[in-house]
Amino acid sequence: MAAAVRPRGRDTDGFQESSPILIVIKYSLLTIAAVRRIKSISPSSRVIMLTVIDSHERIFKAICAGASGYLLKTSPAEKIVEAVLEAHAGGAPMTTQVARSVLDMFARLATPHEDYGLTAREQRILELMTQGLIKKEIADQLSISYHTVDTHLRNIYTKLHVHTRTGAVAKALKERLF
């Protein structure tokens, strides 16, 4: 099921006559590809997913594909109409159950990282390493000696429980240490 809405008086520059402004579409695996296609052809189009399932995975896939909103079919008709108006106005409508699911997903993504006890200098050196700088470049940028950088790196490796530069960089990026 899909419905397209094209409000009167809307500026249509850049759109073909048949290009929708707002689409309400039933969720399925095929519609995820359709959402991507719609957004690639008409980035300003708003797509609202309408489904009976509020799983974290489905919501995440829909949002990543470019969905502007996510509603459950159990929503009252008035709420669906409000959601269409909200999406048209630039909002991101979702039911309270879906909003809770989105917040839960973000909470899991933003789990606090372990405190490894890195000093400010060690954190800065680690950050420069993630940018691809080598020891000499780090030393030059921080106005310290090559040997001082080397000492800091050994301390970083010990604190992060890694044995290589690659291991330290991977851990820093994976755990968002700065």
pTM tops 0.95: no
Q: With contact defined as beta carbons under 8 Å apart, do 141 and 128 qualify? A: yes
pLDDT of 10 reads 45
Q: How far apart are the C-alpha atoms of 45 and 42, rounded to whole Å?
A: 6
pLDDT at 112: 60
Q: Is 176 helix (H, G, I), strand (E, B) or coil?
A: coil
State pLDDT tens for residues 70-123: 888 888 999 989 998 898 888 899 988 888 888 888 777 766 667 899 999 999
8 has a pLDDT exceeding 50: no
Contact in structure between 153 and 119 (CB atoms under 8 Å): no
Cα 42 versus chain centre, distance: 20
